[in-house]
């Protein structure tokens, strides 16, 4: 818990809220550091299996980097190695994270959402990478993740212009999974989280790691031949036995996450 973010446990689910609504949840180094600590705890906690990240209020998920803080001479040291919001450079996180986007997701805010595995957007959500309009570039993963999510030409249409994209167009482009009513982003994300929690957390982690690390290989054959630590852990887990056993006994599985 911090003045800059809130973390709420709900069983095996963690709800993380960026809590700077007075600046549309824009982030400065102290907020990034606080969020990084939250993700450190999530990553290490065996009883937390899925996370949802959202922004306080209904105006913004996050307006990105706090440019006013930076322009006023604020201390820009102390940025965590795990990246913007402590998430955009956290490449070893194999637990799933869902972005519940309410309102504006601009620049670094959009990059936070792109660093998540699933994006649920309220109808009033607006996405953009406007950095070129202020002499910057979306280097917290935006210029790399967006082309991988929606294809190069579609991504360049957003990156080179900095244009704003609404929730419905975001779904049509392919980076939004579901559009929900205004104020319903978190509830929508919780529905998706509930479906993930029905699955073995060991299998979910193995699948996530295999997808992202597999994309580092040029072809499917090389990706399939690669070794993934989370797949090895899955095969050695109690859940690996429990799943088939529960199926044969016609009962819901009792996942252990180990």
Fold exhibited by the domain 5-197: 2-enoyl-CoA Hydratase; Chain A, domain 1 (3.90.226)
Residues facing 53 on adjacent strands: 16, 99
Quote the pTM value: 0.96
Question: 16 near 54, Cβ under 8 Å?
Answer: yes
The pLDDT of residue 1: 62
- Quote the pLDDT of residue 165: 98
Q: Please list the active-site residues.
A: 111, 131
Please enumerate in sequence order all residues whose Cβ is within 8 A of that of 100, keeping only pairs 6 or more positions apart, or say none. 52, 53, 54, 61, 120, 185, 186, 188, 189
Residue numbers in the chain where pLDDT is lower than 70: 1
- CA dist 72 and 70 (Å) reads 5
H/E stretch holding 147 reads: helix 142-150
User: CA 34, CA 104: separation in Å to the nearest integer?
Assistant: 21
Q: Where do the domains of the chain lie?
A: 5-197, 201-248
pLDDT at 87: 98
């Amino acid at each position: 818990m911090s003045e800059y973010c809130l973390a709420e446990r709900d069983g095996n689910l963690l709800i993380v809220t960026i809590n700077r609504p007075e600046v549309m949840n824009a982030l400065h180094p102290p907020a990034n550091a606080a969020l990084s600590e939250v993700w450190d705890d999530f990553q290490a906690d065996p009883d937390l299996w899925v996370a949802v990240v959202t922004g306080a209020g209904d105006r913004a998920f996050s307006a990105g980097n706090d440019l006013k803080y930076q322009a006023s001479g604020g201390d820009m040291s102390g940025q965590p190695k795990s990246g913007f919001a402590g998430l955009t450079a956290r490449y070893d996180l194999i637990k799933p994270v869902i972005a519940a986007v309410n309102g504006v997701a601009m620049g670094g805010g959009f990059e936070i959402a792109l660093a998540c595995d699933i994006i649920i957007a309220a109808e009033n959500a607006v996405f953009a990478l406007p950095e070129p309009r202020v002499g910057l570039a979306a280097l917290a993963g935006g210029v790399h993740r967006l082309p991988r999510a929606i294809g190069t030409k579609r991504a360049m249409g957003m990156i080179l212009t900095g244009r704003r994209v609404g929730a419905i167009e975001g779904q049509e482009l392919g980076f939004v999974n579901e559009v929900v009513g205004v104020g319903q982003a978190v509830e929508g994300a919780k529905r998706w989280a509930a479906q993930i929690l029905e699955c073995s957390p060991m299998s979910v982690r193995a699948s996530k790691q295999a997808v992202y690390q597999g994309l580092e290989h040029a072809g499917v054959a090389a990706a399939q031949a690669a070794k993934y630590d989370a797949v090895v852990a899955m095969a050695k887990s109690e859940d690996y036995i429990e799943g088939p056993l529960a199926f044969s006994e016609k009962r819901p599985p009792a996942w252990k996450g180990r």
